[in-house]
């Protein structure tokens, strides 16, 4: 019986991953201008989108540019819906056109092996096989109003990893703090303020070619929340010792799949693996001094609360952590 229930829970999780959940919070200004049905869902910053459609990936103004997406209404998102009038804008950001090491060449000038491990670049999607039309990979969630790479380096999936480091909030006597209304203990997580958009976020980042996700999780956390890039060799060693212990403990995978990210295009999109590492006793990573580094402007332990607006789908990831650890939301 227990096995059957476990299998059912697993199937539901898999199904949700395949349809592209989570449906993220809308805290971006640009989200406000999309179709009316989506707009109503954007009303509160902590709402998880109950729709099956990506929303931030259709935000009218492409981030960091003056490029306006070709507007895609909800009923035209899916590729299966015929739409001969669809005329997406071609946009690849100047920084990507300079072809830095992290960016692919232009389509036509190289022969990527889509849906495969292409040398050290993983072009497989977490959500299954994606279609390739006229040599270009198609966003598995559907139309975005933009073709090209936008701000993303890879044609097809761009893989990220998000380490969610948590601890219990404690009072000065070391007791767990209980929320007055929900009567549940409060969790805190290490959050960074992103330099690019000023939003609070999990200190995640891109998986380097050939890198194991487990290493990306630890590396990004060390670089962004502990500023390991600028640490002295002795400090680096101390950081590495503490952090390796926590990240070697078995983390709780809370999400693996497509991310509704404002940088997505019809041909390039974000995917992530989000994993929770919990410092139950509060004396492992909790004791390391946080220091913002790399892409982070600020870093802090912040209370996990549904009212806290967060970048992209990060609020959804935290909700899963909270539910699993029976904490306040
Ligand atoms: C961020 C991750 C985020 C991903 C998808 C990456 O640039 O570092 O935290 O989950 O994009 O939005």
- What pLDDT sits at residue 113? 97
Percent helix, strand, coil in the chain, to 5, is: 25, 25, 50
- What pLDDT sits at residue 110? 92
Does residue 207 line the site of ligand 1, with CB under 6 A? no
* Cα–Cα dist 213/247, whole Å: 11
Does residue 204 line the site of ligand 1, with CB under 6 A? yes
Low-confidence ranges of the chain (pLDDT < 50): 1-51
- What pLDDT sits at residue 42? 27
Domains (ranges, CATH) in the chain?
A: 2-158 (no CATH), 159-262+271-325 (3.90.79.10)
Across the strands, what pairs with 44? Answer: none
Instruction: Tell me, in angstroms, the distance from the centre of ligand 1 to residue 175's CA.
Output: 34
- What pLDDT sits at residue 44? 26
Residues 6+ apart with CB under 8 A from 27: 45, 199, 309, 310, 311
pLDDT, tens only, 21-61: 433 323 333 333 333 333 222 222 222 333 479 999 999 99
Does residue 275 line the site of ligand 1, with CB under 6 A? no
Element (H, E) at 117: strand 117-118
Instruction: Tell me, in angstroms, the distance from the centre of ligand 1 to residue 2's CA.
Output: 36
* Cα–Cα dist 236/201, whole Å: 24
E-assigned strands of 169-319? Answer: 187-194, 200-201, 205-206, 252-259, 268-279, 296-303
Pocket probe mutation, ligand 1, options 197, 221, 259, 264, max atoms within 8 Å of Cβ:
259
Q: Per the confidence metrics, is the pTM higher than 0.85?
A: no
Does residue 205 line the site of ligand 1, with CB under 6 A? yes
Instruction: Tell me, in angstroms, the distance from the centre of ligand 1 to residue 194's CA.
Output: 10
- What pLDDT sits at residue 257? 95
- What pLDDT sits at residue 115? 98
- What pLDDT sits at residue 15? 35
Atom of ligand 1 nearest to the CA of 270: 5
Is there a cis peptide before residue 22, judged by omega within 30 degrees of 0? yes
By the 8 A CB rule, do 249 and 277 touch?
Answer: yes
By the 8 A CB rule, do 249 and 138 touch?
Answer: no
**Residue 153, Cβ neighbours under 10 Å: how many?**
17
- What pLDDT sits at residue 235? 81
Strands 136-137 and 205-206, by their bridges, are: unpaired
Instruction: Tell me, in angstroms, the distance from the centre of ligand 1 to residue 292's CA.
Output: 17
Residue whose CA lies nearest to ligand 1 atom number 2 = 204
Does residue 57 line the site of ligand 1, with CB under 6 A? no
- What pLDDT sits at residue 32? 32
- What pLDDT sits at residue 121? 96
Give me Rg for the CA atoms of the chain: 20
By the 8 A CB rule, do 23 and 48 touch?
Answer: yes
């Amino acid at each position: 019986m227990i096995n059957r229930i476990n299998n059912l829970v697993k199937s539901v999780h898999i199904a949700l991953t395949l349809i592209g959940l989570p449906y993220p919070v809308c805290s971006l200004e640009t989200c406000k201008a999309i179709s009316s049905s989506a707009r109503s869902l954007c009303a509160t910053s902590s709402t998880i989108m109950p729709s099956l459609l990506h929303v931030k990936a259709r935000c009218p103004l492409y981030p960091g540019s003056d490029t306006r997406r070709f507007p895609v209404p909800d009923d035209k998102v899916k590729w299966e819906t015929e739409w001969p009038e669809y005329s997406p804008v071609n946009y690849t950001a100047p920084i990507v056109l300079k072809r830095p090491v992290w960016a692919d060449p232009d389509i036509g000038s190289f022969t990527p092996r889509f849906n495969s491990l292409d040398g050290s670049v993983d072009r497989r999607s977490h959500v299954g096989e994606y279609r390739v039309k006229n040599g270009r990979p198609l966003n598995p969630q559907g139309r975005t109003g933009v073709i090209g790479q936008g701000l993303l380096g890879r044609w097809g999936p761009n893989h990220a990893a998000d380490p969610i480091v948590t601890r219990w909030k404690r009072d000065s006597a070391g007791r767990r703090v209980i929320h007055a209304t929900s009567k549940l203990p409060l969790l805190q997580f290490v959050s960074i303020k992103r330099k690019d958009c000023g939003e609070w976020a999990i200190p995640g980042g891109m998986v380097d070619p050939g890198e194991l996700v487990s290493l990306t999780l630890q590396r990004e956390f060390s670089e962004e929340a502990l500023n390991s890039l600028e640490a002295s060799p002795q400090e680096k060693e101390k950081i590495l010792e503490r952090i390796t212990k926590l990240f070697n403990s078995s983390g709780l995978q809370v999400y693996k799949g497509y991310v509704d990210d404002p940088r997505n295009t019809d041909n390039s999109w974000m995917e992530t693996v989000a994993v929770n590492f919990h410092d139950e006793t509060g004396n492992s990573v909790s004791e390391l001094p946080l220091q913002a580094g790399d892409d982070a402007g600020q870093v802090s332990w912040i209370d996990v609360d549904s009212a806290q607006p967060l970048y992209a789908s990060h609020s959804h990831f935290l909700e899963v952590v909270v539910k699993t650890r029976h904490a306040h939301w």
